[in-house]
Amino acid sequence: METTLAMAKAGRPRAAGWQRLTGSAQVRFGIVLLVAMTLLIVVGPYLAPHDPAAPVGKPYAPPSAIAWLGTDNLGRDVLSRLLAGGIYLAWMAPVAAVASVTIGATIALFATYYGGWVDLALMRVTDVLLAFPGLLLTLLCVSVFGPELYLLVILVVLTLAPGVARVIRGAAVPLLRQEYVLWARAVGTPGPVIILRELLPNVSSPLLVELGLRLSWAVGILSSMSFIGYGIQPPAADWGLMVSENGNGLGTQPFAVLAPIVMIVLYTIGGSMIAEGSARVIARTEGEA
């Protein structure tokens, strides 16, 4: 039996590990950018020269010694609000991304392994959620229950998890024909154990890609919700809210709009580069196999 076990395990595909992934310059740059942005978001409120909610000058005043990036529509310091404006994204977007990947992967792996009516029921639910516009669902729920932070995170998870489930299911289905899975089934290994020990490790690379991708999407969705008035509410400092509040003054004081846009883009690029770089490493690894 030990010989059979060794032969079965020898047939396991070697997924691109952390060493291969971090060997990609694109992935390393994405990680560095994401970590740098997160650190800036965390310490930013302590570096703000003024109270983000207090006026320091006239509305839409140009940059000066008092306000390095000028003032916004209410005369508040743009730099102070910029430094304090990412604190919500710093926890809401990662929590939503991790939760959506976790839930989506769990649904996909259980549906793949058990098949039959379990697969049918779980994947039909994801199809319904995929067919229903995520933005419409978010607007409906926020209109009824209010823009609560936990609700926004839950809605983002409901929007992103079905896509993750579809991707991971596609990656997991071919694994059912591998020798190590067939052997584990033959010796009576419980299904959850097979899912945890055999299937999950071999979809870890696609999961990492999905995590980076869903993080970028979570940032975009949460920023969009604040922009249209259904996310973070005034007078809180938030990058999406800053863009919405100061849109009318773009021609007069562009820093009030462009600065938060740059911060959102940089935060999004970090996750996107990790996802794209990981996908290239996985494709190259599969090509070498």
Please state, in angstroms and rounded to a whole number, the distance separating the CA atoms of residues 1 and 7: 10
State how far the alpha carbon of 67 is from the alpha carbons of 16, 42, 46, 80, in Å.
Answer: 48, 21, 16, 9
Fold of 91-236: MetI-like fold (1.10.3720)
**9 falls in which pLDDT band (50, 70, 90)?**
very low
Token look-up 């007069």 returns 252
Please state, in angstroms and rounded to a whole number, the distance separating the CA atoms of residues 253 and 247: 10
Tens digits of residue pLDDT in 171-224: 899 988 888 888 988 888 898 899 988 898 888 878 888 888 898 899 988 888
**117 falls in which pLDDT band (50, 70, 90)?**
very high
**Of the candidates 236, 237, 243, 235, which has an alpha carbon nearest to the alpha carbon of residue 262?**
243
pLDDT attached to residue 63: 93
Provide mean pLDDT across the span 133-146: 79
Between 147 and 70, the more confident residue is: 70
pLDDT attached to residue 13: 44
pLDDT attached to residue 289: 55
Token readout for 183 is: 């052997």
pLDDT attached to residue 104: 94
Tens digits of residue pLDDT in 218-269: 998 888 888 888 888 888 889 999 998 998 888 899 999 999 999 999 988 9
**288 falls in which pLDDT band (50, 70, 90)?**
low
pLDDT attached to residue 11: 42
**14 falls in which pLDDT band (50, 70, 90)?**
very low
For 120, counting Cβ atoms within 10 Å of its Cβ (0-12 exposed, 13-18 middle, 19+ buried), the class is exposed
pLDDT attached to residue 146: 80
Please state, in angstroms and rounded to a whole number, the distance separating the CA atoms of residues 220 and 264: 8
First and final C-alpha spacing in the chain: 28
Which residues belong to CATH 1.10.3720.10 in the chain? 91-236
